[in-house]
Structure 1
Amino acid sequence: MVAREASARLASSRPAPAARRRALSRLSMAGEEPSKLTDEQMQKMRLREEVENPFRKVRLFFLYSFVASGTVGFLIAALRTIALTQGIDQGQAFPELAQNIGIDLAAIIGSALLIKRDLAAQNSRLVRMEIGAKLAGLKVRTQVESEEATIPLSAFRRQRGRDKRVAIVVGGADAVAASLSTAIPYSDELDRADIVLVPLSQLEEAVGQKHVALPVMLNSWQEWVDTEVATATGQGFDVLRDGFAVILKKNGRVGTRSKGCPPWNVLVGDVQARVAANMDTTNI
């Protein structure tokens, strides 16, 4: 019944084919290079990472010091051991030298492993921040009457005039079409709940839907899509068959990732429950 009603509403809300073609002609899918961060943006991102992890530099300083100290101690102990094997007395017995070498090696290896883990965590965080920054710069076209505009996703962040949670839907044609059709009965509720849907395929089906923002220049989305598809595939998702959704909170960060169609009734109901309980809805 819901599917039939959704199909009827979709059919009735679709513009004429010529109008759809004109609308889609504004959504260029070629000729634009993927967005790249400027040096200033990269510097700000690194500064933000350092602010959020203020003790990393101190920790790395001590770890590098342990490696340097252990290396010096190892070389001294190794040279004394070689001298001892040549019959030159260095004032230390072989067992003591062997113990010193073992301690120095353990300190070097342990500190090196901790450094590697720390740097890997830093790089992983920087990669996530870079992907997030690029995602914020990807553009969509809103379809609300009198407010149609091409804007970056960052414009939906709170206190920027268009506070919205963004539900990005990725998948095969059937999966995305299902997400679009199941969202139609909740169009008004999604709008009141500050949720906007961004499908990355089946754009013709989405033209004219006020709760949908159409992605502009799809090839510029490719890097982000590739990353998310790799993550979903690694978790055992059949991306083409089931699809998945990534929901961005109003602060621009990823809130949830879900397999299949987003649970529109749950998303809308959660906001309605928060409003009824006088709870905050600006940080969800």
Structure 2
Amino acid sequence: MAAAAQPSYSLIGCPSLNLDKKCLGFSRHLNNCRKFAFFFSNVDQRLLCKVQPRRLGPSLITCFASNKPEISSTAKIRSEVLSPFRSVRMFFYLAFVASGALGGLIATTQLIAALSNPSRATEVPDILKGLGIDIGAVSVFALLYYRENTAKNAQLAKLSREESLSNLRIRVDEKRILPVSAFRGIARLVILAGPASFIADSFKSSEPFTDRLVERGVLVVPFATDGNSPSFEFEDSEELKEIIAKRKRLWQLAPVYATEWSEWLAEQKKLAGVSPESPVYLSLRMDGRVRGSGVGYPPWNAFVAQLPPVKGMWSGLLDGMDGRVL
């Protein structure tokens, strides 16, 4: 591309372009090699740059930046799988809108001709009836398309947030750091976000349900939002050795890269209209999707009552009975 135009380029007015981050670049040939369009994208920003090379001197590049995250192809594919006939419905809605609009245009021209010709005055009621039907059809199918498109965008946004969650990192032990997606099909994560006192109280309240929570594959991810690391005290007793081992397993995970966790949780609270200081919990299904969330302490008793065990005669049969997706 550079060999064809052979201009010199300069970037100006792009304060949001971070050259240290990985970007993808695309170019398009415009107006006989006189203009080029560049698209840089990463997780945080998109820039569209128009380049107008000159024979002499540096080229002028005007950049437009947007902070909206790009919807990944994976999220779009998952949306198509979850709603396989949505694209077909939207296509037919648009086709019906176009058909009704064309019919309305024809009816309008006929109405104008009938009104300008007194001999065709008897045709006006029928033309008005047809025009009304066309307008009604366009309105109905436009509304259906709007609702379908709104639902599609909402689903894509939700899947994109879930994908961002799946990329967050969790420390399993001193040697292993895994993304949330690595626990799909293995465990049901319960994410707790709040001050250290909230984490400590949740730890104490989970004690009576330890056995049944572990049987159901529940693992807790405590995230202290006040920067204080929560301390978990386990009794050192031979009689309680087995239950202590289960409690350590239940609370063994710890989030890493706190900034990324804070940003993701802040976005979820903003979308849900929850105060940034409020402690919250999120319960994930076995497939990694969010099945429940709320403000305050997690309902351990509800988890025990609603979730099937991951082992025994009910394993496999009830793997999909994690509850509906929020």
| TM-score w.r.t. length of structure 1 | 0.70
CA contact (8 A) 1:74 1:104 kept: yes
In structure 2, relative to structure 1, the CA distance for the partners of 1:40 and 1:72 (3 Å cut) is closer
Separation (CA, whole Å) in 1 of partners of 2:293 and 2:264: 14
CA contact (8 A) 1:67 1:107 kept: yes
What is the match of residue 34 of structure 2?
none
Separation (CA, whole Å) in 2 of partners of 1:188 and 1:274: 11
Pair member with larger Rg: 2
For structure 2, the residue ranges without an aligned partner over 5 or more in a row are: 1-20, 23-41, 45-68, 234-247
Judging by fraction of residues, say which structure has more helix. 1
CA root-mean-square deviation: 3.6
Separation (CA, whole Å) in 2 of partners of 1:92 and 1:122: 47
| Residue aligned with 1:200, SS | strand
What is the match of residue 57 of structure 1?
87
What is the match of residue 43 of structure 2?
36
What is the match of residue 96 of structure 1?
126
CA contact (8 A) 2:168 2:261 kept: yes
| Residue aligned with 1:255, SS | strand
In structure 2, relative to structure 1, the CA distance for the partners of 1:220 and 1:276 (3 Å cut) is closer
Identity %: 30
For structure 1, the residue ranges without an aligned partner over 5 or more in a row are: 1-31
In structure 2, relative to structure 1, the CA distance for the partners of 1:110 and 1:275 (3 Å cut) is closer
What is the match of residue 145 of structure 2?
115
What is the match of residue 182 of structure 1?
205
What is the match of residue 248 of structure 1?
284
Match of 2:259 among 214, 219, 226: 219
Separation (CA, whole Å) in 2 of partners of 1:103 and 1:280: 56
CA contact (8 A) 1:176 1:199 kept: yes
| Residue aligned with 1:205, SS | coil
> How far 1:130 moved relative to its partner?
0.9
> How far 1:88 moved relative to its partner?
6.8
**Higher RCO structure (Cα 8 Å, ≥6 apart):** 1
What is the match of residue 3 of structure 1?
none
What is the match of residue 262 of structure 1?
298
In structure 2, relative to structure 1, the CA distance for the partners of 1:85 and 1:244 (3 Å cut) is same
What is the match of residue 182 of structure 2?
155
Q: How do residues 203-242 of structure 1 correspond to structure 2 at under 5 angstroms? A: 204-206=229-231, 210=249, 211-233=251-273, 240=277
> How far 1:124 moved relative to its partner?
0.9
CA contact (8 A) 1:172 1:239 kept: no
CA contact (8 A) 1:175 1:240 kept: no
CA contact (8 A) 1:141 1:150 kept: yes
In structure 2, relative to structure 1, the CA distance for the partners of 1:95 and 1:181 (3 Å cut) is same
Judging by fraction of residues, say which structure has more strand. 2
What is the match of residue 200 of structure 1?
223
CA contact (8 A) 1:83 1:89 kept: no
